[in-house]
Structure 1
Amino acid sequence: MPHSHPPYVLSIQSHVALGHVGNDAAVFPLQRLGFEVLPVHTVQFSNHTGYGQFRGQVFDAEHIREVLAGLRDRGVLSRVSAVLSGYLGDAGIGAVILEAVDEIRRDNPAVRYLCDPVMGDVGRGVFVNPAIPDFLRNLAIPHATIVTPNQFEFELLTGSRLVSVEDAVRTARQLRGRGPDVVVITSLATPDIPADQLGTLAVNGEGAWLVNTPRLALHPLPNGMGDVFSATLLARLLRGEPLPRALELATATLFGLVKATAEGSRDLPLVVAQEQIVAPLEAYPAVAL
């Protein structure tokens, strides 16, 4: 029996030769979970910025538009079942991504757009171009089906300070009212979550679920964790897993990969520990709230 052509996932992110961030963190997990990926690179760098110095080039919006036009010429854009975006170098590239999502939606209204609104983190603050938070808040979030901010980014998007898990659920429901069906908050550390744990919260129209995992004491923490999580979550949802189960599996994969990371490494062992993508060893339950 010939295989029918699997649906494509269009992933528009950065690319590094060395390390696992952006497309180099997202493409392989999607492939391991059975998806054909169309990676479109927003930059090509020697390595990610976590190493300090790097070399390479940032591509402009026109370059991305050209690559997408070539995919359109091949007739594959209409066969895309999901779009994934992460770190944006500038808002112009964001606008191209939203154009692509709109175009694909005309052919396939069920296409899912997972927007990981990368802006910053606790301790590091905001590390993106100053126009990005407004672009994400006002334009990308209303377009997205699924958003996966960390707690810092979620607070930036919603202008809130989360004081409890219950508060996070309530604020996530308000954000759902602005477009996305699924809101996931990673690295949740409200005062009611034990200090030795980190929460991952998922909220959709049916309910809210929280997974708590032990905090792992790694210094530095490897880059690309959010990229791997978002890609894995998307793959699990595309495979038909209900949100709480997809949340459990994606969280378990990330936990397993972080646990397998060598002390001092700036990258997750995606290739060496790839079994964690398909069949993570340890799982923590998604508790309905």
Structure 2
Amino acid sequence: MKILSIQSAVAYGHVGNSAAVFPLQRIGVEVLPVYTVNFSNHTGYGAWRGPMIDPSDVSEIIAGIEDRGVFPQIDVVLSGYQGGEGIADVIIDTVAKVKAANPNAIYACDPVMGNAKSGCFVAPAIPILLRERVVPVADIITPNQFELGFLTETDPDTIESTLASADLARAMGPSTVLVTSVERPDREDDTIEMMVVTDAGAWIVQTPQLPMKANGSGDVTAALFTAHFTRTGDAADALARTASSVFDLLTTTLESGERELQLVESQEFYAEPRMQFTARQVR
């Protein structure tokens, strides 16, 4: 499997491509990383150095990959945080070209906008751009519950309302919606869930909620789920594998006392997930 991953990159820590590439490689996926920013560290520190890559430069990198005749071999285009408005056009154009070269290729979009605790942390134009232009051309989207609500102009909280919001998102274009950070009022204490909704049904997986904030965990989640689901077509298995791997990554990070994801230290959990969580069908 080959994945063309168009995301941010940081020198210190693990977000964007700096979070997604290694776990994908560890499960045997060939990744072609294209950077949208090249920062010293993620913006959660409040200060960082380095450039946002001009969309024309991102486009040039992708054109160079196309020149090598690689597009027919690409199975997935994956995108995450979009630092500026112009990158959307580059992604949409790339998806069209890759799908023309390989009609079986898919586009997986992580529509990064914000979260329930912090609200939106991207430029005001980005969420509208994602909703109106990017998400409609995606096959898979991986929003958190907050982002799903923004995309669909709803307020999902229960299983039923989250399913309904996911169906609204699927009506926009994507056939598969993975909803992360699902927090419903009637869940067990100190737990958190992920839900996937596809044409074949819907499944939810519940894990303990760890007392931490981990930048980049959503990027790892989107990457691993996309790869597992693309390989097998089994949404429940992909959900369980992803939840198992990411939970052990977060546990290792929490136990280390470090702020940044312990991505390398957790590598065996990607290659051999413990499968300690089971996906339950909810539709």
TM-score by length of 2: 0.96
Q: What is residue 25 of structure 2 aligned with on the other side? A: 31
In the alignment, the residues of structure 2 paired with residue 256 and residue 112 of structure 1 have an alpha-carbon distance, to the nearest angstrom, of 28
- Where structure 2 has 5 or more consecutive residues not aligned to the other structure, the ranges are none
- Where structure 1 has 5 or more consecutive residues not aligned to the other structure, the ranges are 1-6
Aligned with 2:107 (options 110, 113, 121): 113
Q: What is residue 220 of structure 2 aligned with on the other side? A: 228
Once the two structures are superposed, the pairs formed by residues 147-226 of structure 1 within 5 Å of their partners are 147-218=141-212, 221-226=213-218
Residues 240 and 275, structure 2, Cα contact 8 Å, conserved in 1:
no
In the alignment, the residues of structure 1 paired with residue 200 and residue 77 of structure 2 have an alpha-carbon distance, to the nearest angstrom, of 23
Residues 135 and 172, structure 2, Cα contact 8 Å, conserved in 1:
yes
Q: What is residue 3 of structure 1 aligned with on the other side? A: none
In the alignment, the residues of structure 2 paired with residue 120 and residue 171 of structure 1 have an alpha-carbon distance, to the nearest angstrom, of 17
What displacement does 1:174 show?
2.1
What displacement does 1:95 show?
1.2
Residues 111 and 143, structure 2, Cα contact 8 Å, conserved in 1:
yes
1:100 aligns with 2:94: yes
In the alignment, the residues of structure 2 paired with residue 205 and residue 44 of structure 1 have an alpha-carbon distance, to the nearest angstrom, of 37
In the alignment, the residues of structure 1 paired with residue 222 and residue 63 of structure 2 have an alpha-carbon distance, to the nearest angstrom, of 26
In the alignment, the residues of structure 2 paired with residue 31 and residue 249 of structure 1 have an alpha-carbon distance, to the nearest angstrom, of 16
Once the two structures are superposed, the pairs formed by residues 28-177 of structure 1 within 5 Å of their partners are 28-177=22-171
In the alignment, the residues of structure 1 paired with residue 189 and residue 108 of structure 2 have an alpha-carbon distance, to the nearest angstrom, of 29
Residues 189 and 195, structure 1, Cα contact 8 Å, conserved in 2:
no
Deviation per residue, 1:13-61 (Å, 9 max, x gap): 0010111100010111111111111100001111112233211010111
Residues 222 and 265, structure 1, Cα contact 8 Å, conserved in 2:
no
Could you say what secondary structure the match of 1:179 adopts? coil
In the alignment, the residues of structure 2 paired with residue 54 and residue 88 of structure 1 have an alpha-carbon distance, to the nearest angstrom, of 17
In the alignment, the residues of structure 2 paired with residue 154 and residue 193 of structure 1 have an alpha-carbon distance, to the nearest angstrom, of 19
Identity of aligned residues (%): 45
Could you say what secondary structure the match of 2:226 adopts? helix
Could you say what secondary structure the match of 2:11 adopts? strand
Q: What is residue 251 of structure 2 aligned with on the other side? A: 259
Deviation per residue, 1:125-147 (Å, 9 max, x gap): 10001111111101111110100
Q: What is residue 4 of structure 1 aligned with on the other side? A: none
In the alignment, the residues of structure 1 paired with residue 186 and residue 277 of structure 2 have an alpha-carbon distance, to the nearest angstrom, of 18
Could you say what secondary structure the match of 1:217 adopts? coil
4+ runs deviating over 6 angstroms: none
What displacement does 1:267 show?
1.6
Aligned with 1:275 (options 258, 268, 274): 268
TM-score by length of 1: 0.94
Superposed CA RMSD: 1.2
